[in-house]
Amino acid sequence: MLVKLSSSALKQTRWYEYAVRFVLGGCATVLAGVIGSHFGTSVGGLFLALPAIFCASATLIESHERHAKEKAGLSGRRRGQKAAALDAAGAALGSIGLAGFAAVFYATVGTSIALGFIAALTVWASASVTAWWLRRKLRIVSHHHRTAHSPSAEGSRFVKP
């Protein structure tokens, strides 16, 4: 599976779904600001680093997938849940890159803001892609391991010459 950009997804999203994402993201940012002003910028920064629109995105993805299956006359509940779970896995992998970005930017910003940003951006991209690639490779290895040792796979060896 290749990672690609799909403009058709933009056409499927209604204006109010963008509004929900914008409002929830804004509320999360304001909340982080309030927490930061009360408990200090270090604590507020931790809350700002949370994926502000993740909950809205996950529910919208689940809803879109479920509706697409229901249009075809099938129950889309499970498919919607799986699509949202896949989005959550992607968010977790992106968070690994975000942690790398923060660490590198913190370490290099004193020297040069521009170079610190470029270095942090490079680490973010490298870490995120590497995490995605490792997850994919480990999933494939795990899938092959389960398939090779499953009772149905062993039974099929005896049936086929």
pLDDT in tens, 86-115: 888 888 888 888 889 989 999 999 999 999
Highest mean pLDDT among 10-14, 83-87, 111-115, 154-158: 111-115
Q: For residue 35, which of 22, 21, 50 has the smallest C-alpha distance?
A: 50
Q: Is residue 100 within 8 Å of 123, Cβ to Cβ? A: yes
> How does DSSP assign 100-122, residue by residue?
HHHHHHHHHTTT-HHHHHHHHHH
Amino acid at 82: K
Tell me, rounded to whole angstroms, the distance of Cα 44 from its chain centroid. Answer: 22
Secondary element (H or E) of residue 62: helix 54-71
